[in-house]
Amino acid sequence: MERPYAFLAEWYDPQPMMVREFLLKYYEEEQQVELFDLKTRRQFLKKSPLAVKASELYVGNEIVVHARVLKLVQFGDDFTRMSLESAVETSVALVTPDATRDNARLGAVLSLLEADFSLRKLKLVQLTESEAMEACSILQRDDGRRLFAGGRCVAVAVSGASAVDRLVAACGRIRDALGANGTEDLVTPAPDAHAASLFGAFAFGPSRNLRGTARFGADCACCVVRPHAVADKHCGHIIAMIPFEISAMELFKLDAKAASEFLEVYDGVVPDFQASVQHLALGPCLALELQGAGVVKQFRHLCGPWDLEFAKELRPDSIRAKFGHTTVKNAVHCTDLPDDGELESKYFFQVLQSS
């Protein structure tokens, strides 16, 4: 009989406005979950199907169970701790301006990272000179001004088994494969676990506010790589296909309310609206602001029809035809009307930043 992984989990119940605590048990082979209410000491949810990857089971992550967003706050037993604690480690790196200047190159870098790790956090930032020097100090580089200042960087956090050591090795392979003459540093990793912790706080900590790069304006479009495409590790592939300037980019985890607010204007316009809202709140999504003359119309064409069968038939080289699964899981959201580009971009890169 399969022994389940166990976690203490929390869910914010909006009706009484209180946090409810559960014991969550996940049966990996059966791909089923059950919940026990810790206050009432009764079963809250009997065994139900839930497709979750082992890499998603770590303290601090959020998973969606029947439209409820549960945060895993603690291992539930020693078996789970011993099985998963060493299997999931987090590390961080900074993608340098040498990689971010070209979407094909940036996409290739991210694809190589996705091949070995799961993306946890990601943000396109513009470092000041003092921030570049601070990053240089944390990452133990003596050439930070050359590497990081004067251009946009991507701060990225990844997870996986022995992530700190493996990320150092992976960045070396990226340099050899994509760097000019095999010497150009395109990604600078944290050299050890202590540096990873410091740089994680520097890049993503609540007390820091690294300058974002969103510009908004009339000639912008919003692209959202849907949760299934993030989980399928297609972020890099999709970015490499985009011919427009990526002026802002960040990995977000939307709750049901935010997903509904963002897609509200499409209610009654797109098929399976409620299913699309639920999917957008299912896991991390990657939001991008794109800039260029006529970008909304041209990018919509590149994405292809919303309906996957139409996309494969009419535009087999489109993003949705290549990476979509269904009409709901169709790889990307794209701005439909030119007047909506700035509004959609502001929702991610302004409204959610201040909430």
pLDDT value at residue 62: 85
pLDDT, residue 57, reads 85
pLDDT of residue 197: 94
Query: Strand order of the sheet with strand 32-37?
Result: 42-49, 32-37, 18-27, 5-13, 68-75, 62-65
Q: Would you say residue 284 has pLDDT above 70?
A: yes
Write down the domain spans for the chain: 5-84, 89-204, 220-354
pLDDT tens column, 228-273 = 999 899 999 999 999 999 999 999 999 888 999 999 999 988 878 9
Q: How distant, in Å, are the alpha carbons of 20, 68, 333 from that of 13?
A: 7, 9, 29
Question: Domain 89-204 classified CATH 3.30.70.141?
Answer: yes
**How many of the other CB atoms lie within 10 Å of CB of 354?**
5
Choose the weakest-confidence range: 21-25, 79-83, 156-160.
79-83
Q: List, for residues 300-323, the tens digit of each pLDDT value.
A: 999 999 999 999 999 999 999 999
Kindly report the length of the chain.
355
- Give me the pLDDT at residue 261, please: 95
| Across 22-30, average pLDDT | 94
Task: Return the CATH number of the domain spanning residue range 220-354.
Answer: 3.30.70.141
Give the pTM.
0.84
Specify the 3-state DSSP secondary structure of 89: strand
On average, the pLDDT of the chain sits at 91
Q: How confident is the model at residue 166 (pLDDT cuts 50, 70, 90)?
A: very high
**pLDDT reading at 28 higher than 80:** yes
pLDDT at 122: 98
Rounded to a whole number, what is the distance in angstroms from the first to the last CA of the chain?
A: 45
> 89-204 with 220-354: one CATH topology?
yes
Q: State the sign of the Cα–Cα–Cα–Cα dihedral 250, 256, 257, 263.
A: positive
CA angle 196, 202, 204 (to 5 degrees): 90
